[in-house]
Amino acid sequence: MRPDYPIKTDRLLLRPFEVTDLADVHAYRRLPELARYLYDEALTEAETAEKLAKWSAMDELTEEGQSLALAATLDGTVIGEIDIKWLSRDNRQGELGYIFNPAFHGRGYAREAAEQMLDLAFGQLHLHRVIAQCDPRNEPSWRLMERLGMRREAHHRQNEIFKGEWGDLFVYAVLEEEWRGTA
């Protein structure tokens, strides 16, 4: 699956990352408060550039295990990242992920981008089920999952050591028929 780029939402353009996005992406990826719930720590500029080089090649899905990572742009500025990972071809499963610059939180941009990615996942990729996961302490993230119509399927307690302490995990999911409103 390779979408026609750019993908337009009401206010955003979603497109593959470019190495020239460095300043915009590093503006938020360098923030410790953003990295709090990520496996990464706050990134140096060199680490951000390394990630951008990797992400810029992630513009299509051809086999399971791959991720489609897109820049969410507002008026030409990258304000976040949105991705869908193809977990299983046979079981038609995927995983939604997102990270947005805190300067743009609370305005519905993440929801707008996530809705578009779910449309792609269920439409062009023909997935049956999409999950999303987060640390339960990251309330804005799981609230977004709920606003997207995803249901909490699991609360894994102390399931892994995360940044030096036992961490919990919420798992949310939505089925294609639920997304399409045919359930």
- pLDDT tens for 58-79 read 999 999 999 999 999 999 999 9
Asked if residue 15 belongs to a domain, the reply is yes
Considering just the CA atoms, what is the radius of gyration of the chain in Å? 16
Rounded average pLDDT over 96-110: 98
Residue-level pLDDT at 46: 98
Asked if residue 139 belongs to a domain, the reply is yes
Asked if residue 28 belongs to a domain, the reply is yes
Asked if residue 1 belongs to a domain, the reply is no
Residue-level pLDDT at 183: 59
Residue-level pLDDT at 132: 98
Asked if residue 160 belongs to a domain, the reply is yes
Asked if residue 147 belongs to a domain, the reply is yes
Asked if residue 100 belongs to a domain, the reply is yes
How many structural domains compose the chain? 1
Q: Which domain holds residue 152?
A: 7-179
Paired tokens of 53: 């080089």
Tell me how crowded residue 91 is: count the other CB atoms within 10 A of its CB.
11
Cα angle vertex 113, ends 109, 115, to 5°?
A: 115
- Total-model pTM: 0.96
Per the prediction, the chain carries an average pLDDT of 96
pLDDT tier for residue 160 given thresholds of 50, 70 and 90: very high
Asked if residue 123 belongs to a domain, the reply is yes
* Residues in contact with 65: Cβ distance below 8 Å, sequence separation at least 6, in sequence order: 85, 86, 87
CATH of the domain at 95: 3.40.630.30
